Structure 1
Amino acid sequence: MVTLTAILKCAIADAEAVQAALLQVVEQVRANEPGTLGYFVARSNEDATAVFTTYERFADETAMETHNGSPAVAQFFETAGPLLTEPATVVVAQEIAVKPSNETHSNIA
């Protein structure tokens, strides 16, 4: 299993726009990417900065490349890229352990 973790930072004033752009990616992943096995987005606020973290799970490197080359990801960076206060931190790794969750969260977009 290939994973990608991304950390994205923006000013609190721009956080809603970045969050909306990330949620559009999530919708496209759900609808169009069977090789993306999990796509998680979290947000924290640190002083005047919003920090978004994604954790993405792919069946293989081809699925990750498909996702990263998708129109949804391109649109995200076109919309949100100028709002980021620093370059994204990205870590690609091989997953070595997992505890699956059977939980569902009604407040998750």
Structure 2
Amino acid sequence: MITITAVIRARKGYEQTMAQALLEVAEHVRANEPDTIGFHISQDAQDPCLFATYERFVDRAAMDLHNNSDVVARFFGIAKPILDGEVILITANEISAKA
């Protein structure tokens, strides 16, 4: 299993815009990416500008399909102008999970 963890900070005042853009990606994943096993979005309880995603893929092909999709390109088109800093991405091989 391949995973991506992303830490994303929106500029103050753009929290809802970022949340909506992430939810649109999640909806696309649910409807169109059977080999994306999980796509989780969190918004920090203390800092609403801070988001994290945790994404699980059956293999590299599934991850590449997701990362190269039109919906991810649209997300970054929306997100880039409202980011507060760089997106932190961690791509990893999952070594344990509770299913």
Question: TM-score if structure 1 supplies the norm length?
Answer: 0.86
The aligned counterpart of 2:30 is: 30
1:59 Cα offset (Å): 0.3
**Alignment partner, residue 91 of structure 1:** 90
Unaligned runs of 5+ in 2: none
Across the aligned residues of Structure 1 and Structure 2, the Cα RMSD in angstroms comes to 1.0
Aligned residue-pair number: 98
Return the offset for 1:11. Answer: 2.3
Corresponding position: 1:3 with 2:3: yes
Which runs of 5 or more residues in structure 1 are unaligned? 101-109
For 1:41 and 1:63, the matched residues in 2 are separated by 18
Using the alignment, how far apart are the partners of 1:11 and 1:80 within structure 2? 10
The share of aligned pairs that are identical, in percent, is: 41
1:90 match: secondary structure: strand
Per the alignment, residue 51 of structure 1 pairs with: 50
SS in 2 for 1:34: coil
Deviations 1:2-55 (A, max 9, x none): 000000001231000000000000000001101100000000143xx6110000
**What residue is the counterpart of 1:104 in the other structure?**
none
Tell me the TM-score normalized by structure 2. 0.95
Give the structure 2 partner of residue 70 of structure 1.
69
Which structure has the bigger radius of gyration?
Answer: 1
Q: Flag as ranges the 4+ runs of structure 1 deviating above 6 A.
A: none
